[in-house]
């Protein structure tokens, strides 16, 4: 029974409570949300991104073509270009099975080219069966200039190739093909189906650009002085301005990021979907297994200044230095930044916090209205977590980012996680969470957990499932909320739960109590089982039945321990016909061994807990 007291006043639920976290993982940006169809368009792929890469990855050559890094380059930050011999051609294979073209749709081609003696380029779209659009001819003469052409696809194909052939010798860079039909028809835009799926969630905020992507790699810039670092932490200034001047970078997840989807595009997208932008900058301490702190004070000062400049880029008037850059990119009005994250999952709590405090002091001194979000490391509990929470609490930090990926049963069992959080301490930004799996049961466990977030909306101010996107052919992390390839996209069950909560965010919590709530102590993943926090617990006569009474599993433990396994440490044995936990592990879960197929049963687990064992 549920008892509700409508007259009682519960916590206020902010409209921004549920949002999304976009990280360029699983090809979420290039080959994903960023609508560019050409892969490695500026020939910058390198072994720094992935040991299997070359500057010609995803290109095929007919004739002579070589990638050159010399003074003839397009610009200092786009260092490689392609030198294509007379009578030669190159073709790009795109992502997944190739370039996806839809009959009747328009596609915008562009290229930067240099041909002192002049040449004619023939640009075509084909697959193994032949032409996918009428070829276009482009005359090139003189120094670097941008050339464009438009195609209308005459056939639909998922295996298209973009080919560029030249009569004479020519230098090429930034070979690009965009669908005209991007999200909101924006230039340098986003893939429509993916952007619309995210918009349909109606997220309250957009956290970007990572994750481990943000705070891993070198903290140096892309310059001659620092040796043209190809593995840098995410630095927002790399990602704004004309796309041909954006330096690409290795992505922590093992590929290259073009930065065509950069900070301007992130802010624009947040605005378009009505979400509060929430960028994260590196704190000069690396996380995600690369545990290092940078002691270079000048470098730290530069990053702090970059962060102040970022706030000016987002909020400054169009006459300010960085506000002007934003205006020149097409958005004179400020984006209205109110929150900024500093750091992500650092494992060195004290080192992180010292540096975080310097960022925070500088930001709060210049922009007192901005909430500076700290974090609590990579785990939901443990020494780093405890230390970081202590430091954050003592320093009166406004908001702390928590991350955890746990089993569905953990989510069911931890619905009350925030009930006991200090009401006077920092607020919680649950920046990343997901139950391990992409099935309906995971979504259900997440939904149950979210009721606990909502009940504690006075403490938990923001929450986002992670990761958001996954290209099915380039997966580094599962589960994910939205899946796609070069031609289609589809939602996970977790997406539907997120959508349900985001589209129906309440105004305030109505306090309620429930009795007779189901026992959630057993796991619901691919196995049925029992859980105990007590030490030396023992179970006998376990019976799992479906709602209609059908026995799905029964075990009297007459000596066969192999049917069962346990998670969370500890050891269990069969003693006197009962399954007994024989050590003092504080938390343990007993599950059926093997991998019984999950069915949509309403399960009833019954067992006798023996005493005295």
Which parts of this chain interact with ligand AHR (CB under 6 A)?
A: 23, 25, 210-212, 288, 344-345, 378, 403, 432, 466-467, 477
Do strands 371-375 and 399-406 pair parallel, antiparallel, or not at all (unpaired)?
A: parallel
Our answer to whether residue 345 is catalytic in this structure is yes
Report the alpha-carbon angle 243-134-39, nearest 5: 30
| SS3 label, residue 128 | coil
Distance CA 79, CA 127 (A): 31
Put residue 87 in one of left, alpha, beta given phi > 0 → left and psi -120 to 50 → alpha.
left
CB 122 to ligand AHR: min, Å: 43
- Give the whole-angstrom CA distance, residue 291 versus residue 281: 17
Q: In the complex with ligand AHR, which residue's Cβ is closer, 203 or 378?
A: 378
Interatomic CA distance for residues 31 and 229, integer angstroms: 24
| Residue (of 426, 424, 504, 493) closest to 465 by Cα position | 493
Closer to ligand AHR by Cβ: residue 79 or 355: 355
Smallest separation (angstroms) from ligand AHR to the CB of 467: 4
- Inter-residue contact 338 to 276 (CB < 8 Å): yes
Partner residues linked to 399 by β-bridges: 373, 427
> Distances from the Cα of 94 to the Cαs of 91, 181, 337, 341, in angstroms?
9, 18, 35, 34
Give me the least distance between CB of 207 and ligand AHR, in Å please.
10
Tell me the closest approach of the beta carbon of residue 317 to ligand AHR, in angstroms.
Answer: 34
Q: How would you label 215-248 residue by residue, b for 16+ Cβ within 10 Å and e otherwise?
A: bbbbbbbbeeeeebbbebbbbbbbbbbebbebbb
Give the nearer residue to ligand AHR in terms of CB position, either 18 or 572.
Answer: 18
Is the Cβ of residue 347 or residue 532 nearer to ligand AHR in the bound state?
347
Residue 340 Cβ vs ligand AHR, minimum distance, rounded to whole Å: 16
**Residue written as token pair 């002691």:** 295
Side-chain half-sphere exposure of 527, counting CA atoms within 13 A: 21
How many residues does this entry show for the chain? 613
Structure tokens at 85: 């011999």
Measured at CB, which residue is nearest to ligand AHR?
211
Neighbours of 348 (CB within 10 A): 19
Q: Least distance to ligand AHR from the beta carbon of 440, Å?
A: 21
Under 8 Å CB-to-CB from 242, ≥6 apart: which residues? none
- Outline where DSSP puts E strands in 377-528: 399-406, 427-435, 460-465, 469-471, 482-484, 489-491, 512-514
Cβ at position 234, least distance to ligand AHR in Å: 11
Are the CB atoms for 132 and 155 separated by under 8 Å?
yes
Q: Where are the alpha helices (DSSP H) in 329-457?
A: 349-366, 383-394, 408-413, 440-455
Query: Are the beta carbons of 392 and 429 closer than 8 angstroms?
Result: no
Name the active-site residue from 44, 244, 345, 351.
345
For the bound state, the minimum distance from the C-beta of residue 57 to ligand AHR, rounded and expressed in Å, comes to: 24
Residues 6+ apart with CB under 8 A from 574: 557, 559, 560, 561, 580
Residue 75 burial (CB count, 10 A): 14
Torsion of CA 21, 22, 24, 27, to 10 degrees: 110
Nearer to ligand AHR, 159 or 403 (CB): 403
Minimum distance, C-beta of residue 477 to ligand AHR, in the bound complex (Å): 5
Q: How far is the CB of 226 from ligand AHR (least distance, A)?
A: 24
Tokens describing residue 444 = 């259900």
Nearer to ligand AHR, 279 or 323 (CB): 279
Instruction: Find the DSSP H helices in 18-140.
Output: none
The minimum distance between CB 24 and ligand AHR, in angstroms, equals 10
* 465 and 21 Cβ atoms separated by less than 8 Å: yes
**Residues contacting residue 21 through CB under 8 Å, at least 6 positions apart:** 206, 207, 208, 211, 431, 432, 464, 465, 466, 467, 468
Nearer to ligand AHR, 138 or 468 (CB): 468
Residue (378 or 570) nearer to ligand AHR, CB:
378
Q: Which is nearer to ligand AHR, 215 or 485 (CB)?
A: 215
- Active-site positions? 345
């Amino acid at each position: 029974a549920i008892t509700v007291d409508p007259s009682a006043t519960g916590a206020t639920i902010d409209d921004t409570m549920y949002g999304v976290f976009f990280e360029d993982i699983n090809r979420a940006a290039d080959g994903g949300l960023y609508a560019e169809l050409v892969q490695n368009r500026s020939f910058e792929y390198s072994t720094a991104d992935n040991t299997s890469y070359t500057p010609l990855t995803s290109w095929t050559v007919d004739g002579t073509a070589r990638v050159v890094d010399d003074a003839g380059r397009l610009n200092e930050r786009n260092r490689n270009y392609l030198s294509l011999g007379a009578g030669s051609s190159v073709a790009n294979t795109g992502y997944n099975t190739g370039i996806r073209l839809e009959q009747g749709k328009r596609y915008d081609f562009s290229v930067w080219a240099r041909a002192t003696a002049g040449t004619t380029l023939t640009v075509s779209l084909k697959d193994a069966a032949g032409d996918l659009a009428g070829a276009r001819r482009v005359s090139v003469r003189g120094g670097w200039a941008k050339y464009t052409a438009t195609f209308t696809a005459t056939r639909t194909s998922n295996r298209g190739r973009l080919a560029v052939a030249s009569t004479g010798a020519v230098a090429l860079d930034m070979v690009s093909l965009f669908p005209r039909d991007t999200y909101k028809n924006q230039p340098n835009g986003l893939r429509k189906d993916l952007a619309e799926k995210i918009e349909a969630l109606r997220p309250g905020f957009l956290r970007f650009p990572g994750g481990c992507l943000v705070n891993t790699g070198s903290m140096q810039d892309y310059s001659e002085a620092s040796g043209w670092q190809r593995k840098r932490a995410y630095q927002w200034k790399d990602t704004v301005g004309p796309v041909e001047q954006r330096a690409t970078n290795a992505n922590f997840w093992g590929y290259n990021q073009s930065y065509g989807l950069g900070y301007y595009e992130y802010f624009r997208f947040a605005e378009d979907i009505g979400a509060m932008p929430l960028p994260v900058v590196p704190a000069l301490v690396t996380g995600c297994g690369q545990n290092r702190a940078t002691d270079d004070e000048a470098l730290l000062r530069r990053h702090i200044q970059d962060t102040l400049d970022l706030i000016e880029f987002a909020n400054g008037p169009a006459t300010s230095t960085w506000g002007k850059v934003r205006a020149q990119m097409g958005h004179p009005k400020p984006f209205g930044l109110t929150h900024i994250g500093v750091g992500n999952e650092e494992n060195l709590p004290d080192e992180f916090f010292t540096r975080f405090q310097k960022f925070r002091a500088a930001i709060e001194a210049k922009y007192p209205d901005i909430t500076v979000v700290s974090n609590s490391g990579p785990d939901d509990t443990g020494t780093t977590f405890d230390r970081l929470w202590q430091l954050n609490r003592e320093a009166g930090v406004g908001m702390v980012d928590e991350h955890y990926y746990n089993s569905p049963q953990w989510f069911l069992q931890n619905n009350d996680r925030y009930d006991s959080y200090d009401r006077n301490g920092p607020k919680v930004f649950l920046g990343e969470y997901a139950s391990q799996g992409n099935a309906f049961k995971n979504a259900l466990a997440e939904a149950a957990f979210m009721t606990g977030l909502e009940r504690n909306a006075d403490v938990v101010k923001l929450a986002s499932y992670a990761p958001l996107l996954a290209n099915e052919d380039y997966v580094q992390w599962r589960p994910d909320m939205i899946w796609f390839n070069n031609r289609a996209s589809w939602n996970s069950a977790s997406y539907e739960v997120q959508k349900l909560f985001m589209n129906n965010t309440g105004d305030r919590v109505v306090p309620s109590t429930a009795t007779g709530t189901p026992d959630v102590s057993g796991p619901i993943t691919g196995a049925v089982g029992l859980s105990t926090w007590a030490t030396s617990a023992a179970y006998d006569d376990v019976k799992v039945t479906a709602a209609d009474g059908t026995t799905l599993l029964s075990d009297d433990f007459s000596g066969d321990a192999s049917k069962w396994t346990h998670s969370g440490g500890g050891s269990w044995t069969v003693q006197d016909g009962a399954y007994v936990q024989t050590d003092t592990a504080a938390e343990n879960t007993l599950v059926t061994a093997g991998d019984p197929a999950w069915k949509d049963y309403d399960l009833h687990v019954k067992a006798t807990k023996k005493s005295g064992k």
